[in-house]
Amino acid sequence: MILILPAIDLKDGRCVRLVQGAPGTEKIYSDDPVQMAVLWRGENAKTLHVVDLDGAFEGKMRNLDVIRKMIGAIDIPVQVGGGIRGYEQVKKLLDCGVYRVVIGTAAIEDPDLVAKCVKDFGARRVVVGIDAKNGVVMTKGWQENTGIEAVSLALNMKTLGVCRVVYTDISRDGMLTGPNYDAIREMAQKTQLRVTASGGVSGYQDLIKLQELEKFGVDSVIIGKALYENKFSCQALWRQNEEKLEDLGPTRRI
């Protein structure tokens, strides 16, 4: 069964979603990302995917304090990306309880960093985020075209010991138009890496189609807007019930 990772994107300390990653398109879904993490945990999330958008745009992490509070509030693994450019940043995140870090821009600018992190922390704790538009990798908050093919980058990372990539199709992200199944399948088949898909999921039928790619190595998917806008059955009922709860239970620590 494919694993679903709810996405929490942090900007100015709030939980937002962008359209195709473009600055200025953000929609605020919560002023309290910690409470949002608790909500997803309460709805049975097994892992969270957190992105420091400020860090991605500025080149250094800006929301570490919020991330620490999120980790302290829930009892499931948290995967973090956005603005991670150096070894000490990776170590600091892992030391504060982050389960897995996602290295994006730095994978192109400093591949030796990836190799060192994989060697020191293990391939399960360090993955590479490959964000592509028309098959070409974009970096620095999806603003800079590298001219590098997504599959080529993945193969290069594989030689450094990377065993998983988070693959995002930027043109689908935040659009609710469905994932780019062909590109996701190509990434998995040509690289033989584990692939976490991201971008475009609009509802249950998309998950069924992604499930068919599991045999190629696509074992997980990051979902943002579709979850925030209740595109799955039962979500509206869950939210209605949660509004009336006074005791949030043992998995909700705040």
75 noted as active-site residue: no
Catalytic residue selected from 12, 54, 120, 131 = 131
Catalytic residue selected from 9, 52, 54, 206 = 9
Q: Is 59 left (phi over 0), alpha (psi -120 to 50) or beta?
A: left
Q: What is the rounded distance in angstroms from the CA atom of residue 1 to the CA atom of residue 88?
A: 35
The SS3 of residue 167 is: strand
Sign, CA dihedral 51-226-4-250, equals: positive
Q: Is 220 left (phi over 0), alpha (psi -120 to 50) or beta?
A: beta
Q: Which residues contact 96 (CB under 8 A, 6 or more apart)?
A: 64, 67, 68, 71
Q: Which residues contact 158 (CB under 8 A, 6 or more apart)?
A: 191, 192, 193
**For residue 221, what are its two tokens?**
């998917």
Task: Decide if 54 contacts 62 (C-beta within 8 A).
Answer: yes
Amino acid residing at 54: D
Cα→Cα distances 63→3, 12, 27, 160, 194, Å: 26, 8, 18, 29, 28
131 noted as active-site residue: yes
Q: What is the rounded distance in angstroms from the CA atom of residue 134 to the CA atom of residue 166?
A: 16
Catalytic residues: 9, 131
